[in-house]
Every structure is written in C-alpha cells, then in structure tokens.
Chain A
Amino acid sequence: MQHFRLIFDLGMTVWPFAFVLLFPAKPVLNGERLSKYKRRALLLGIATAAAWCLIALVHSRFSGVHGLWTLCFVLWFGGAMPIMRLKRLDWSAPLPDASARQASLHSRLHASPVPKFWWAVAWCVWLLLLAATLATVDAHVQALFPLFFNLMGAFWLIMGQYGLRWFLLEPEPLDAHGSVELRDAYGALRKFKVHGWFGLVIGAMLIFSSVALMIARDAGVVAVVVLGAGGGSLLGVLGGVFGTYASVLRGRIAELRARLDGDHDTLDTPA
C-alpha cells in the first residue's frame, strides 16, 4: 500500500511536466511570454521537488507523501496548460473577420455521433452494477456508502448527456464560401469530441460503480484504493490527452479556415 501511494503521488506530480515536454511545439511568436511561463514552470518544479525533499527529510521514509498528488492540479492548470497554449499559438479559433458569413441550417444536436442506443446500454450497465451492489452488500457494511459511489456513476451519466450538448453546439464558423473541406474537418472534430467524451463518461461511471460494488463485497481497502485512485488518475490523464488533442484539432481547423479565407480573398481581388 505504501509503495502504491509513493508511486501514485510521484506519478501525479511528474506527469504535467512530462506532458509539456512531450507536447509538440509550433513556431512561437511571443518568446517573452513563453519565457515567463517557462520560469513559472521552473518555480513550480522547484517548489514540488522541495515539497518532496522536505517530506522525505521529516518522515525519512516518504510515509507522509500521501496527499502530494493534489499538487497535480496546480501544476496542470498553473504551469502545463499556459505553456502548451504558448507552444501552439494557433489554439484559439476566433471568428473570421470577413463580413460575409455562412452556416449550416441543420441541427447538430439531432445528429449526434453517439446514438441514443449507446446511452441506453450505458444506463443498463449502471443498473446491473447497482443491482449487484445491492444484492451483495454485507450486513456489516453500511449500504449508504456503496450506494453513494454507485449514484456518483449515475451522476456522471447525467452530466455526460448534458456535456454532450456543449460539445455539439460549439461554434463551427465556416469560411465565406462554406467549403466542404472545412465542413468535413469540423465533422471529424465533432466526432472525436463526442466519442472521447462518451468514453470518459463511461469510464467514470464504471470506476465509481465498480468501487461501490467492491465496498459492498468488502473487497479490502487496498483493492478499492488501487481501483479508485489508479483508475481515476488514469481517467484524468486520458481527459488531459483528450482535451489537448481536441485543442490541436481546433488549431488545425483555424489554420485551414485562414488558408481558405486567404484563397477566397485572392480569387475575389480583381487583377
């Protein structure tokens, strides 16, 4: 258990730095801002390393490191994300300046790449896990605790369906001529976002419901912690990869739109 905690906390504090290093860079226009964020990352790195050393000195065997993993949020949102945003300046996709704008008249909300049937299957799986939890709950284990975890799984399914609206309604501004190439690129991004989100939501539901089942069956603290913390962290890292790659795709679309608008400007300009 002690080893797991050590590896878990170490992994969680190291991965934001690893992510930034592995993230491919694009030509940087504002070197001054990047230097500023690199300095910030260096400070965060030093502070994290210092925290580790301090705890190691005080406890001599790293026994007090548990809880350091929460630093990953500070490192991710305060260091990794701003630096990655600066490593790829094409992330943001502002609306085109052109006065002529085009849009599709078909509702994206009614054409989700994840059919309703998939959600129905997910709810059935959750119900099965709920039934298994209620059926196996031991007399000496309070039923309320596993039930809470199981309901968290349902909460993720509900949130997932609401979150899907946000992904489907994200603006998809077209170029002045409504090019098919751009529409296809938006379609591919939408498919990736919706499938990725669905996968994350199902993963979260399975982890919470499985933890509930394990608590109900009195599977032991180690197994519950390994599944809950390990699975949860893996899901968090996958979420980070998913969000970052979606931003990279958005950046590519912004590039494509800028190129198409440039082509149209050239064609529209009389010789």
Chain B
Amino acid sequence: MISIDLTAATPLVEQIEQQIRQALAAGELLPGEPLPPVRQLAGDLGVNLNTVARAYRALEAQGLVVAQRGRGTVVAPRGSRKPNKATSNALGVAMDQVLSDARLKGFREAAIRQIFEASLARFWQRG
C-alpha cells in the first residue's frame, strides 16, 4: 500500500518515491514484480500522470526499478543494487542527518541505538 498526504509540505513526487522505496526495502515488492502502471496509480491516488511518471523515473535513475518493453516498470533484481562508494557516502550523509536531528531533539545514544536496532530488525525480518 502507498499513502500520500495532499496537505504535507513534502512534494507529491517525493512522497510517492519514498513510499515505493520503503515498500521495496520492506520486501512488499519483490524483484521482477511489476509496479502498477502510471495510469493506475495516478487514477487511484487522484494525482496527475506526470507526478507518478516522475517518481518512477527517479526510482529508475537510482537503479531500484527498470522499465521493460511490454511489461512496464518492474522491480530491479537485487544483484543490480550493489552498494558502491557513492551510495555508501550518501548513506553516511543521511545517517549524520538523522543522528544530528535526534541529538537536537534530546535523544541519548542508548535510546537512538535501541530505535535503530529495532528498525534494522524490522526491515531485515520482512526483506
């Protein structure tokens, strides 16, 4: 399932992209499985076709999905998603961002570790 909030500050394209990324990480969509056609998702969510198409293109640029002739957009095989130096750096930056946010909000190291490990366990259990 994907859910968007029309009143949220985050642009719709980003919301859709993030939601699909989460679904992929959680194993809700398996490699080779087709994503809903742009027209289906746009119609169900009541958003413009271009909004969904842009989100799909962004996911394709990240190597998470591939456009296949006759099949539409499908989830990329896991083998094509190997971490490299650039993605490791990007992950490091994102982690720094999360940690600094947590520290500013008053979380202690033990609490952050506990939340992180719970999230880690949840994702790996599903994926």
Contacts and interface: CB of A to CB of B under 8 A. Distances in A.
Task: Decide whether A and B assemble into one complex.
Answer: yes
A170 B43 contact: yes
A109 B46 contact: no
A266 interface: no
A199 interface: no
A106 B45 CA distance: 13
Nearest to B41: A103
Given A102-B1, A107-B72, A110-B34, A173 B39 contact: no
B72 A103 contact: no
A104 B44 contact: yes
A103 B1 contact: yes
Interface residues of B, number: 23
A93 to B, nearest CB: 12
A96 B5 CA distance: 13
A102 B46 CA distance: 10
A39 interface: no
Interface in A96-151: 96, 99-110
A171 B44 contact: yes
B4 A100 contact: yes
B13 interface: no
Interface string B1-36: 111111100000000000010010000110000111
B1 A109 contact: no
A42 interface: no
A15 B24 CA distance: 53
Contact of A103 (B5, B28, B34, B44): B44
B37 A178 contact: no
Given A101-B4, A103-B2, A105-B28, A169 B46 contact: no
Contacts of A106: 36
B37 A105 contact: no
Interface in B65-105: 72
A224 B84 CA distance: 71
Interface string A193-237: 000000000000000000000000000000000000000000000
A264 B64 CA distance: 35
Which DSSP category, helix, strand, loop or mixed, fits chain A's interface? loop
Contacts of A103: 1-3, 36, 41, 44-45
A173 B5 contact: no
A172 interface: yes
Given A95-B46, A171-B43, A172-B44, A104 B4 contact: no
Contact of A107 (B4, B7, B37, B43): B37
B50 interface: no
Contacts of A109: 34, 36-37, 40, 72
A174 interface: yes
B2 A105 contact: yes
Contacts of A96: 46
Nearest to A95: B46
A194 to B, nearest CB: 14
Interface of A: 95-96, 99-110, 168-174, 178
18 contacts: A99-B6, A99-B7, A101-B6, A101-B44, A101-B45, A101-B46, A102-B1, A102-B2, A103-B1, A104-B2, A105-B36, A107-B35, A107-B40, A108-B36, A110-B34, A172-B43, A172-B44, A173-B43
Given A171-B46, A172-B44, 7 more contacts: A100-B4, A101-B3, A101-B45, A107-B37, A108-B40, A168-B40, A173-B46
> Can you list the 10 inter-chain pairs with the closest CB atoms, starting with the nearest?
A171-B43, A103-B44, A95-B46, A99-B6, A99-B7, A107-B34, A102-B3, A107-B36, A103-B45, A169-B40
